[in-house]
Amino acid sequence: MIQPVLAKAALLLVALAVLPQCRREAPPAAPPNGASPTAASAPEPNVDRIRLVVSGSMLGRLEPCGCAGGQLGGLPRRMQHLGEQRQYDLLVEGGDLVAGASELDLQKAFTALSVLFGMQHPYDALGVGPRDLQLPREEWTSYASMATLVTTDLRSTAADWPGVPFVEKVVRDQRVRLLSFTTSLPADESKASAPLELLAPAAAWQRGLEGAAATTLRVLLLHTGDVAARRIVTELAPKPDLVLCFDPAYTDPPAHPELVDGVPFVFPGIRGRNLVLVTLARLPSGPRVGTEVVPLAGSRTVPGGGGDPDVKQALLQHRQQVKQDGVLGKMANLRATANGHDYVGTARCGTCHPSALAAWQQSRHAAAWQTLVKAEADPKRYGWPVTAYPDCVGCHVVGYGERTGFLGMDHTPDLAAVGCESCHGAGSAHANGGGLVPMGKVGGGQASVLCTTCHDYEQSPDFLYGDRWPKIQHGREAHQQKR
Ligand code: HEC
Ligand code: HEC
Ligand code: HEC
Ligand code: HEC
């Protein structure tokens, strides 16, 4: 992961600071194989390279949650970095800005677009990803008024469909064209009033290259898994000079581009954790691509810990808006519980399980709501309404989003914090039946998998079940025999 040559000592420090994390989280990096002639280390004299900046699909991570130290990414750091570097010709956003179409996702998408396209360092294009298409169609005209949406392989009969087949930019006399394949449609697309149609890769490629000069550099954004992407590229003529492949399986970008059928592939990763600085030129022998991965590091979501102040202000406004609009309440109580029963609250469980309750009260899980309250009150770390922000609340309470689950401190104080039913499931049948209706195995028998739904690689990068279970250990009362 170490960049062989780093221009600035400051950058080097940043890279070293996050090194352990990179090493742990990196997917099996592409071997620098025969593709190394494309690596940045062998600059050609007199070749002007286009400098393109891309970061992975954001998937709703406008900023890391700050649950653990050393988290990467976030719009404030990204935009600050762009402001400091200013060495770029093209800013490309990979799409899949958000992961769904909840009330919160709608507001996040709007915020992300206004930061990326409406502030100091406006992006050139957004390659629409399949998840973006879940956002309500009636919002798309307003998205298009903010951003350039590239949808090379989507065709619509709707007169107001705002996607464009390509974006072309002239950089120091060199033309560069950006094309983007969404590659899949939402499952319920046929029910849309003017359903989108997906073009086959070869046809889409032709459409996107219409009128392009032979010398124009061809950059393709591909929203699909790496196996499908490799296959698609073999169908394209003339070949792309660069493929940006948004495969969500790549958490972080590999250090070097990979050559696939003569085409350099870059995998920018997910959650906007890194910036990938790409240099691109076409030589008689073929495309030359170099990459430098810049992990967007900083301290624990400390407001002073890095980040463009205007972007921070935009995020703050977003969070205040979420509170003002009561989004937390709107997103509560929507889904059925996994087991179909109702939540009863931790105190109720404790009436028959006093020792488990006592162990729980000693654990950090019992304090999980209080942690959010403190975070909200601490301007050094957060100082914004985290207790009204669905993303934060979701992992720090019982059953948020599900029927009979957490609604708010006023209504369901006994479901605040990570309670018994966060792990054991809704317990009405068991509690009402005097414990005779079984609760069932935790996480279907795979407790460690259940833990990692909350303790994921960002919240708890060093999570090991064997280390953590002893800290929350509990069980049956002596008289509750196993039958
Ligand atoms: C519903 C989300 C959720 C699930 C599921 C969950 N945790 Fe947690 N856990 C949290 C939160 C949130 C905290 C932080 C609480 C705080 O400090 O305010 C936490 C903190 C902890 C801590 C304290 C930190 C430390 O290491 O000292 C331990 C231990 C822990 N969890 C173990 C587990 C284990 C083991 C499992 C699985 C059996 C599990 N957790 C499942 C949300 C969860
Ligand atoms: C995916 C689940 C998840 C989400 C989303 C989440 N948290 Fe957490 N949070 C955790 C877990 C798990 C821990 C415990 C981490 C550990 O100790 O291993 C934690 C710990 C914390 C801590 C304690 C860290 C410390 O210094 O001890 C704070 C503060 C916190 N979260 C705030 C937030 C805020 C604010 C948000 C929303 C921006 C948020 N969390 C979103 C799961 C989550
Ligand atoms: C963070 C997740 C988590 C929370 C919170 C939690 N438990 Fe558990 N509980 C587990 C896991 C995991 C096991 C099984 C451990 C094992 O493999 O033996 C367990 C085991 C148990 C058992 C014994 C199960 C058996 O088959 O013998 C009881 C009883 C129990 N929990 C009750 C409670 C009660 C009551 C609460 C709330 C006061 C609670 N638990 C909170 C995860 C949790
Ligand atoms: C009215 C008393 C009572 C209440 C309330 C109660 N339990 Fe139990 N629980 C029992 C008894 C008795 C057993 C032993 C049952 C058996 O195995 O025969 C038991 C067993 C369990 C077990 C292990 C066996 C199984 O069913 O999986 C878990 C886990 C458990 N309880 C969790 C909970 C949780 C979580 C709550 C709150 C939602 C809760 N209990 C509420 C009485 C109760």
**How far is 330 from 326, CA to CA, in rounded Å?**
6
Q: Report which of 118, 217, 228 is spatially closest to residue 182, judged by C-alpha positions.
A: 228
Mean pLDDT across the stretch 1-10?
Answer: 35
Report the distance separating Cα 450 and Cα 448, nearest Å. Answer: 5
User: What gap in Å lies between CA 2 and CA 173, rounded to an integer?
Assistant: 34
- Longest Cα pair distance anywhere in the chain, in angstroms? 82
Q: By alpha-carbon position, which residue is closest to atom 28 of ligand 3?
A: 475
Given this model, what pLDDT does residue 276 score? 94
Whether 359 is in the pocket of ligand 3, judged by its Cβ within 6 Å, is no
What percent of the chain lies above the pLDDT cut of 90? 69
Chain mean pLDDT for the chain: 87
Average pLDDT over residues 54-75: 89
- Is pLDDT at 46 greater than 70 in this prediction? no
Ligand 2 probe mutation, 323, 451, 459, most atoms within 8 A of CB: 459
23-32, 321-330, 456-465: least confidently modelled range: 23-32
Distance 424 CA to ligand 3 centre (A): 7
| Ligand in nearest proximity to the CA of 451 | 1
CB atoms within 10 A of CB 337: 18
Q: Is the pLDDT of residue 342 over 80?
A: yes
Residue 27 has what pLDDT? 36
Report whether residue 434 contacts ligand 4, using a CB cutoff of 6 Å. yes
Model pLDDT, residue 304: 46
pLDDT digits (tens, 9 = 90+) for 180-228: 999 999 998 888 888 999 999 999 999 999 999 999 999 999 999 999 9
* Pairwise CA distance, residues 180 & 209, whole Å: 11
Ligand 3 within 6 A of 263 CB?
A: no
pLDDT of 35 strictly over 70: no
C-alpha span between 145 and 143 (Å, rounded): 5
Spatial distance between the Cα atoms of 21 and 36, rounded to a whole number of angstroms: 25
- Quick one: tokens of 444? 């279907």
pLDDT at 10: 36
Topology of 27-295 in CATH?
A: Purple Acid Phosphatase; chain A, domain 2 (3.60.21)
Residue 445, pLDDT above cutoff 60 = yes
Name the residue of 396, 400, 468 whose CB sits within 8 Å of the most ligand 2 atoms, as the mutation to test its pocket.
396
92 in contact with ligand 2, CB cutoff 6 A = no
Show the CA angle centred on residue 170, arms to residues 168 and 176, nearest 5°: 50
What's the number of CA atoms in the CB half-sphere (13 Å) around residue 29?
Answer: 17
| Ligand 4 close to Cβ of residue 344 (< 6 A) | yes
Tell me the per-residue pLDDT of 358-382, one tens digit each, with 9 for 90 and over. Answer: 999 999 999 999 999 999 999 888 8
Q: Using pLDDT thresholds of 50, 70 and 90, give the confidence band for residue 461.
A: confident
The domain locations on the chain are 27-295, 330-472
Distance CA 156, CA 197 (A): 6
What residues flank ligand 1, with Cβ below 6 Å? 364-365, 367-368, 371, 395-396, 418, 422-423, 447, 450-451, 453-455, 465, 468-469, 471-472
Please give the residue that has the higher pLDDT: either 280 or 381: 280
Asked if pLDDT for residue 175 goes beyond 80, the answer is: yes
Ligand 3 centre to CA of 476 (Å) is 8
Spatial distance between the Cα atoms of 124 and 138, rounded to a whole number of angstroms: 23
In this prediction the pTM is 0.88
- Taking residues 433-452, report their average pLDDT: 86
**pLDDT given for residue 45 in this prediction:** 56
Q: Is the CB of 341 under 6 A from ligand 4?
A: no
Q: Which of 179, 173, 163 is nearest to 211 (CA)?
A: 179
Residue for token pair 């810990």: 305
How far is ligand 4, taken at its centre, from the CA of residue 433, in Å?
A: 9
Residue 353 confidence class, pLDDT cut points 50, 70, 90:
very high
Distance 352 CA to ligand 3 centre (A): 13
* Residue owning the nearest CA to atom 25 of ligand 2: 67
Distance CA 209, CA 194 (A): 25
pLDDT for residue 444 is more than 50: yes
Which single residue is written with the structure tokens 């018994």?
A: 420
Ligand 3 atom closest to Cα of residue 360 = 38
The answer to whether 188 and 144 are in contact (CB under 8 A) is: no
The answer, yes or no, to whether residue 450 has pLDDT greater than 70, is yes
Give the angle subtended at the CA of 239 by the CAs of 203 and 292, to the nearest 5°: 120
Q: If you average pLDDT over residues 235-243, what whole number do you get?
A: 97
CB neighbour list of residue 393: distance below 8 Å, 6 or more residues apart: 328, 372, 386, 387, 400, 406
User: pLDDT at residue 44 above 60?
Assistant: no
One-letter amino acid at 247 equals: D
8 A C-beta contact, residue 236 and residue 253: no
Provide the pLDDT for residue 26.
31
Tell me, using a 6 A CB cutoff, whether residue 126 lines ligand 4.
Answer: no
pLDDT for res 483? 56
- Distance CA(53)–CA(277), nearest Å, equals 5
In this prediction, residue 160 has a pLDDT band, given cuts at 50, 70 and 90, of confident
Our answer on whether the CB atom of 11 is closer than 6 Å to any ligand 3 atom is: no
Higher pLDDT, 122 or 22: 122
